[in-house]
A and B are shown apart, each in its own frame.
Chain A
């Protein structure tokens, strides 16, 4: 449905999006993930034909964003970060206006307005001025506006930003609900959101693609080796980290032991084991038998958050190594 090839957006001094390529299949929900300023909004704006790309191509439903923007726009519903509302319009009037802009008219238009009002739960504010709506309603009217012409592709830029937890849940449910009919790209920097709503993740950082995979694969990738976090304290105010490390490494099944942090006589170790070997019991026994206190022992399953941090940090440290000079000049 969406094919992006080496899409690039350069400004005078910065490159906001740098040669991103990905594909989205029909009917998928894709989470577009990245820290603030990573280039999510810019990429979305290029997909919606709001910004022309500097290089590369993007196709939506087979139409190029540069060559046939009108065809692309007909097939896209877009909710920008700030819902594009006219404060002096009433909800129904606004939805009618947007519907007309997207090419609807007559009975069709009335039917769609009724439908999206129902669907996005804004029917009870139909006659209210948009400027007086609460944040949650504004967001939902924005969503209603995006789906009014029943577009094949929905592009949502941080659809849950600034909502309260209840509204966030409602919005997520609504988006999941819409997924059957539309192909959805939604951007966010909130990770649980992606885990809960999306099937596929595209992670970008500083304009570059870091990873693109299904949520399950990413989690599996991170859990490739099982690891446990162990917090150990020395009995009489001292703890020899190398000795602990050595002892833990001697346990059968343990492949690697890392000291993650140390404060006085307490230290946290990450004990990685070979796949399928449970070493927790042995670790606990070894620690106690060696005369140390076992303060904590928990599995270190990587959340998407850690994967994300890991991936984005890796990327930036590599970049620093490559060209410290060019980074300086960018600042």
Chain B
């Protein structure tokens, strides 16, 4: 536990010392801000039009702004996650510092979980930025906070799963660009696999769609914790970290 925290602290330090964190925070804030602005503007315009026509349909901040907004966040996450994970192991391999970690009295699993945790904390700090914008909704409106909290939980779980996959890919190469690009493509595919269900109904399509991280996010976005979906994410996290551990071990046998 202590060792995991030492590794995690070191990773966080290097994220926040080397500007990676600030660049990601800025880019994320810019992208999120744009989505927030468009959704709020549409919402306001729609509301005014309805008032002018004298119609009074119920309008819902949660359904009309927060849900699509957090869906967008999970898409932005696709771009952020490879940038977060690509350096995790690839950089250690290139610097030769993997030899320091591997010859210290510390277990591989502690290294892996420490690194993954640091990546997750960095991602959480991106999510924290969104609170800044959402605070306005609470100030001027009255959204329900419970589905919002559940959606955030879903985002964290989804990110945790993709970060674990990214960590695994990062152990495969010394080259950060390769790690990042491969992670991006894998994340993207895992995101869009759900689409095949739209035109194909055979079993393989269902299986493929089930592996999609996006289909499992819907329930969270609606504000429902579906244990099936939560277990899916937890399984992917477990598998990702498991393969990372195996890959680190094989690194020793091969190198």
Query: Which A residues contact B (CB, under 8 angstroms)?
Result: 11, 45, 48-52, 70-71, 73-74, 76, 78, 80, 82-89, 93, 97-98, 100-103, 145
**Nearest chain-A residue to B17 (Cβ)?**
A88
Tell me the smallest distance from the CB of A258 to a CB of chain B, in Å: 46
Whether B6 contacts A97 by the Cβ 8 Å rule is yes
Contact yes or no, B105 A74, CB < 8 A: yes
Task: Tell whether, in the assembled complex, residue A100 and residue B95 are in contact, meaning their CB atoms are under 8 Å apart.
Answer: no
Q: Are A100 and B6 in contact (CB under 8 A)?
A: yes
Are the CB atoms of A84 and B100 closer together than 8 Å?
yes
Q: Are B96 and A82 in contact (CB under 8 A)?
A: yes
A73–B103 Cα distance when bound, in Å, is 6
Q: Which residues of A contact B103 (CB under 8 A)?
A: 48-50, 73, 76, 78
Which A residues lie within 8 Å of B133 (CB)?
A: none
Distance between B118 CB and nearest chain A CB, rounded to angstroms: 13
Whether A84 contacts B105 in the complex (CB less than 8 A), given A50-B252, A52-B252, A101-B3, comes out as no
Interface size class of B (residues with CB under 8 A): 20 to 34
Residues of A within 8 A of B3 (CB): 101
Whether B97 and A88, one on each chain, are in contact in the complex, defined by CB atoms closer than 8 angstroms, is: no
The 8 Å CB contact of A73, one of B17, B98, B104, is B104
Q: Is the CB of B105 within 8 A of A97?
A: no
CB neighbours (8 Å) of B106 from chain A are 70, 73, 101
Across chains A and B, which 3 residue pairs bring their CB atoms closest together, nearest first?
A84-B100, A73-B105, A101-B104
Contact status B14-A88, CB under 8 Å = yes
B57 at the interface (CB under 8 A from A): no
State how many angstroms separate the Cβ of B90 from the closest Cβ of chain A.
14
**Are A102 and B252 in contact, with the CB atoms below 8 A?**
no
Q: Give CA–CA (A174, B213) in the complex, Å.
A: 56
> In the complex, which of the residues A48, A51, A71, A101 contacts B255, with contact meaning CB atoms closer than 8 Å?
A51
Inter-subunit contact A86/B252 (CB<8 Å): no
Least Cβ–Cβ distance between A229 and chain B, in angstroms: 45
Given A51-B252, A52-B252, A101-B104, do A87 and B95 touch, yes or no (CB 8 Å)?
Answer: yes
> Bound state CA distance, A78 and B105, in angstroms?
12
CB of B31 closer than 8 Å to a CB of A: no
CB pair A50 B99 closer than 8 Å: yes
For B253, the closest partner residue in chain A by CB is A52
B102: interface (CB < 8 Å): yes
Q: Is there an interface contact between A102 and B102, defined as CB atoms closer than 8 Å?
A: no
Contact for B99 among A80, A87, A88, A102, CB less than 8 A:
A80
Are A102 and B10 in contact (CB-based, < 8 A)?
no
Chain B residue, CB-CB nearest to A155: B103
Contacts of A52 in B (CB 8 A): 252-253
Q: Which of B230-255 contact A (CB under 8 A)?
A: 252-255
Q: Which one of A80, A83, A100, A101 has the highest number of Cβ atoms from chain B below 10 Å of its Cβ?
A: A101
Contact, CB under 8 Å: A88 / B18? yes
The reply to whether B104 and A102 contact each other, CB–CB distance below 8 Å, is: yes
A–B pairs, 18, beta carbons within 8 Å = A50-B99, A50-B102, A52-B252, A78-B100, A80-B100, A82-B96, A84-B97, A84-B100, A85-B97, A86-B97, A87-B95, A88-B14, A93-B13, A98-B104, A101-B100, A101-B101, A101-B106, A102-B105
Residues of B within 8 A of A87 (CB): 95
Q: Quick one: closest A residue to B91, CB to CB?
A: A86
